[in-house]
């Protein structure tokens, strides 16, 4: 993670919030100069000849909501808070 960044020609320190955001998958972004989007695509592979068949496919846009580091806002858990740990999932993300 870089410690500094150049913004409008001026070198600035990277904030804790920016470091936290850069360490994870970035949310979708649309600007005049570029677009960053994510899609969930299902691709099937079949055995045998499927050249004359219209095969199903699926592609849908995904919205990635940025997470916020609670340490940056001084959030404190309530004294009786008992978190439930969920089973993690590990989706495969490939860049094309």
Using CA atoms, how far apart are residues 18 and 1, in angstroms rounded to an integer? 10
The structural domains of the chain, with segments of one domain joined by +, span 25-65
pTM: 0.40
The answer for residues whose C-beta is within 8 angstroms of residue 42's C-beta and 6 or more apart is 57, 58, 59
Using CA atoms, how far apart are residues 76 and 60, in angstroms rounded to an integer? 37
**DSSP 8-state secondary structure symbol assigned to residue 66:** P
Q: What is the pLDDT of residue 96?
A: 61
Q: What is the pLDDT of residue 15?
A: 84
What are the tens digits of pLDDT across the range 3-60?
888 888 889 888 887 887 777 767 777 788 888 888 888 877 777 777 777 777 788 8
The SS3 call for residue 18 is helix
Label residue 95 by pLDDT band (50, 70, 90): low
Q: What is the pLDDT of residue 61?
A: 86
């Amino acid at each position: 993670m870089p410690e500094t960044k150049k913004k409008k020609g001026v070198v600035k320190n990277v904030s804790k919030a920016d470091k936290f955001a850069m360490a994870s998958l970035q949310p979708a972004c649309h600007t005049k100069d570029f677009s960053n989007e994510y899609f969930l695509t299902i691709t099937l592979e079949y055995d045998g000849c499927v050249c004359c068949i219209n095969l199903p496919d699926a592609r849908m846009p995904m919205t990635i909501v940025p997470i916020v580091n609670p340490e940056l806002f001084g959030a404190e858990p309530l004294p009786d808070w008992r978190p439930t740990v969920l089973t993690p999932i590990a989706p495969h993300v490939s860049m094309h």
